[in-house]
Structure 1
Amino acid sequence: MVLIKEISPSYGFIVGNVLGRPYAAPIFMFCMEVGIVYSRRSQWDIMVKRGITLFLLGILVNVFEFFLPYYVCGTLLGSWDIFPIAGGLLLFCVDILAFAGLSFILMGILKKFELSNKKLIVIALLMSII
C-alpha cells in the first residue's frame, strides 16, 4: 500500500486557486504567443488556417462537454434542469481553445497587413476598451 502525503493547505490554495484558476488562461496564451514568435511556420495564411482549426475544435469540445450532456439529461432522464443550458447558448461558452483560435485568426490578419508597432498598440488599446 502506497501512502500519499498530503500537501499543506496553503500550498494547495496557492497552486489550485491562484495559479490554477485566474492565471491559467493568460499563461496559456502567453506560451502560445511565444511559440508563434519562435515558429518556423508563422506565415499569415498558416496562422489563419490554424486559428480556424482551433476555433472549430473549441466548438467541438463545447458540444461534447456541454450540449450533449444537456441533451442526454433532458431526453433520457426527462429532467432538463439537471444540466442548465443558459438560454440555449451553452454551446458557445467562452473556452480557451476557441479564444486561442480567434486570436490566431486575428494575428494572422494583422500580420498580413504588416502594420507598424504604433498601429498595433492602438488596435490593442481599442480592443481592450471594447
Structure 2
Amino acid sequence: MSGVKVIHGAEEEEIPESGKVISENYDNTDFVKKIKYRDFTHLITIDFDKHQNKTRETRFPLDNLTYKSITAYHENGKISESGFYGSRLKKDGVWTCFDEQGKLTKTEIYENGKLISTE
C-alpha cells in the first residue's frame, strides 16, 4: 500500500463553515496539496500529490470525530484501499484492497480492530 498515511482523528483539524472550502497548496506552486470542506454531517478532506492525483479522501462525521472512513489511491488514481475506523480509531467493518489495475485483491472484516475474516 504505497503512499498511505492515516491521520488519527480530526480533533486537530480546522473545521470550515458550511459552504467554505479551505485549500493548502504545495510550496512555490499553485498546485493543490489538500482541500477541506464540509457538508451537513461530515468534514471531508482530499489530499493530492504534486501531479494533482488524488491520494486520499477522508470523511469525519461532525458529531463523532473519532470515527472516519478512508480511501487511499495508487499513483495512477485507482483506489488501493478503502475502509472505516470506529471507536478508538480501530479498523471496523469491511476493508477492501485493490491492485493498480483496480481489481479487488482482498476483503477483510474487522471488529473493533480485530481481524475477523479475510476473503
TM-score (norm 1): 0.24
Higher helix share: 1
The answer to which structure, 1 or 2, has the higher relative contact order (CA under 8 A, 6+ apart) is 1
Higher strand share: 2
